[in-house]
Amino acid sequence: MNYFKTTLLLAAMTALFMAVGYGLGRGPGMMIAFFAALAMNLFSYWNSDKMVLRMAGAQAIDRAAAPEFFDMIERLARRAGLPMPKVYLMDNDQPNAFATGRNPENAAVAATTGLLRRLSPEQVEGVMAHELAHIKNRDTLIMTVTATLAGAISMLTNFGMFFGGSRDRDNPLGGIAAIAMMLLAPLAAMVVQMAVSRSREYAADRMGAEISGKPLALAHALATISGAAAHIRNPEAEANPAAAHMFIINPLHGERMDNLFSTHPATENRIAALEAMARDMGSASSRTASAQGPWG
């Protein structure tokens, strides 16, 4: 199902790419944008994970570099029934993490050094279980491809703005309409990112809590990360905002409302859902213990 959604997304982003091309150069601009979009689609399917990791400043590590963290990922992946993903670290004081890859066999998880320093081991485990849930749900393909294509659209419009592409007097859109296209196209790409991300975060929270067995640890981690992200800058994310939707908490400043223009659901809503899940798990455990009696 996610492959079908990815195909639809690629088609929508291609159409958007062509619209921007038309705004910048009429028919020839649209055709150039079409072929560029085809090439970008193929490239993003096979290489978008590498692009996103590079944009985030992530470096691959092995067990020798961070044995406890590496062992944690291995244990959680086994519990989730997943192949061991590649493990990356980002030298960044803001606690955060994301997952990427076109399928579980070609997946990677990345965490910041701030995440390992500022959170307890149980909280880190909850965060990484959430990221493995994205891999298990096959969310990472569509999220990663979206990041790559949204970034490409932003670059295209910036290119057109720099060279004044659509200010040609022969362009029927006119200068004002062309400038509006340059401003609205990145916004449209951002809206696609938001729609892709928000519902998936709730599902990954739930599955991640099931994988780790500790929904409250994940809830506390979300609160800590959200608070830290509000005052600790993430320079790589600020430089590449098209990938912000991939992180467990929005790494950018000023995006915490649960509405159409946020890349993530409100952290408070996610925490409330996890707390309700913990209560349900506690009630189920109590009922099981009562049914078994004092001797099991």
For tokens 């490409």, the residue is 152
With CA atoms as reference, report the closest residue to 188 among 40, 69, 13: 13
Tell me the two tokens of residue 184: 């609205």
Q: Looking at 74, 122, 125, 131, which residue is catalytic?
A: 131
Distance of CA 132 to the CA centre of its chain: 12
Query: CA 125, CA 131: separation in Å to the nearest integer?
Result: 10
Query: CA 101, CA 77: separation in Å to the nearest integer?
Result: 15
Element (H, E) at 216: helix 215-229
SS3 of residue 97 by DSSP:
strand
With CA atoms as reference, report the closest residue to 131 among 205, 74, 194: 205
Contacts of 155 (CB under 8 A, 6+ apart): none
Tell me the two tokens of residue 188: 């449209």
Q: How far is CA 251 from CA 110, 246, 289, 293, in A?
A: 14, 9, 42, 48
How many Cβ atoms sit within 10 Å of the Cβ of residue 288?
A: 10
Q: How far is CA 142 from CA 1, 136, 152, 206, 233, in A?
A: 11, 13, 15, 19, 26
By CB atoms closer than 10 A (0-12, 13-18, 19+), residue 286 is exposed
Catalytic, 131? Answer: yes
- Determine the number of helices (DSSP H) and then strands (DSSP E) in the chain: 9, 4
* Residues involved in catalysis: 131
